[in-house]
Each structure stands twice: as structure tokens, then as C-alpha cells.
Amino acid sequence: MNNFEDARPMFVRSVDQAQQLMESVQPEELGLPTPCTEYDVRTLLGHLLTVIGRIDLALSGEDIFSIPTVTETEDVAAVWKERRTALEATLAEDGVLERVCRVPWGTVSGAVALNSYARELATHSWDLAKATGRLDVLDDRIATYLLPMTKQYLPAEPRGGQIPFDAVVPVADDAAPYDRLVAWQGRQP
């Protein structure tokens, strides 16, 4: 991202995509496994609730670990709406892109935090789409935008330990954008 590009539009596009996929989940799909092996669909939904809450906390200078990795609730839609509303207010604040944010991987600007969380939302949207057979609804523009940054900030090696990603999965240079994005993060497209 250059210094003149606003990270918010693509981040919001990632949020919209995640929300669309979350809203499409049927009760019988909640127990399905996902490519993110520690989560089934139900726990992935809870993790997405945490992600949207944590980015708001990071941008607000609060402790992102004040909410658990997986938010447990029977009303995913209500918690998502509440957290998204709070996040939208934060995103509208002056200087949000320049703020110093503490995230699990260090201290970064608001713009870098937004792009990092956009990547997490996009990747988990792919996980959800793959698990529920909805890959056709993914917005390739998101993956295309995020792939160069993902490669820049997530090295091919080393992986494991402090870098909680599996080895890069080889794919063709002309593979679909989401295939390239998730393969770089160690998922089998």
C-alpha cells in the first residue's frame, strides 16, 4: 500500500464479504469441518466475531486480547451487528489510518492493521466458503489486492512456531486469486 491509498474501502469490502457468507450459513452446516483445521463452521463464525471486535479494539488503542479467540454466542447476527456498528464508528474517526495499533504480531499503523485484518477476514471467508460450497461468491478483487501485502509481511520461510502458518502450497502463477492467497498461507486450495 502506498502512503496515499486508503485501506478502509477494501477492508469494508472484506467485512461485507464475511458478513454475506456468515448470513448464508444454514443450521445443518454448523458442524462441517473447515480448511482452518482448528475450527468447524460454528467455531469459525465465533472467531470471525472476535476478528471484527479485535480490529475495533486495536484501532481504539485497547487490549485486543480482552475478548477470546472464539466468541461463543447463540446469536451470531446480533453480536456481528453490534461489533460492526462500533467498528464503523471507529473507521469514520479522523486519523484512524495513522494511529499506532498493538496487534498480535507487533505495533503497526491503523492502515497496516486494517490490511492485515482484511487478509484474515478474506482468508476465513474462503475457509467458510470452501466448507459450505460457496466459493463462487468470493470477490477476487479482495484477494488480488491482499496477495502482494501478504507476501510482503508473511515470509515464505520460516513457518511454524511464532509464524503460525503451514508451508506455502505451490500453485500456478495464473491460479485464481483466492487460490494464490490461501496457498501462500499454507492452505490447500
* pLDDT band per the 50, 70, 90 thresholds, residue 3: very low
What integer pLDDT is reported at residue 2 of this predicted model?
41
**Spatial separation of the C-alpha atoms in residues 81 and 83, rounded to whole Å:** 6
Beta bridge partners of 33: 40
Which SS3 state, helix, strand or coil, does residue 21 take? helix
Nearest of 122, 133, 125 to residue 26 by alpha carbon:
133
**For residue range 115-161, what is the model confidence (pLDDT) as tens digits?**
999 999 999 999 999 999 999 999 999 999 999 999 988 888 888 77
**For residue range 43-97, what is the model confidence (pLDDT) as tens digits?**
999 999 999 999 999 999 999 999 999 999 999 999 999 999 999 999 999 999 9
* pLDDT band per the 50, 70, 90 thresholds, residue 101: very high
Q: CB under 8 Å to 71, separation ≥6 — which residues?
A: 46, 47, 49, 50, 53, 79
Topology of domain 8-157 in CATH is Four Helix Bundle (Hemerythrin (Met), subunit A) (1.20.120)
What integer pLDDT is reported at residue 77 of this predicted model?
96
What is the mean predicted confidence (pLDDT) over 159-188? 90
Round the average pLDDT of the chain to a whole number and report it.
Answer: 93
Q: How much of the chain, in percent, has pLDDT values that exceed 70?
A: 97
Q: Are 124 and 33 in contact (CB under 8 A)?
A: no
Residue 131 phi, psi (nearest 5): -65, -35
What is the mean predicted confidence (pLDDT) over 22-31? 97
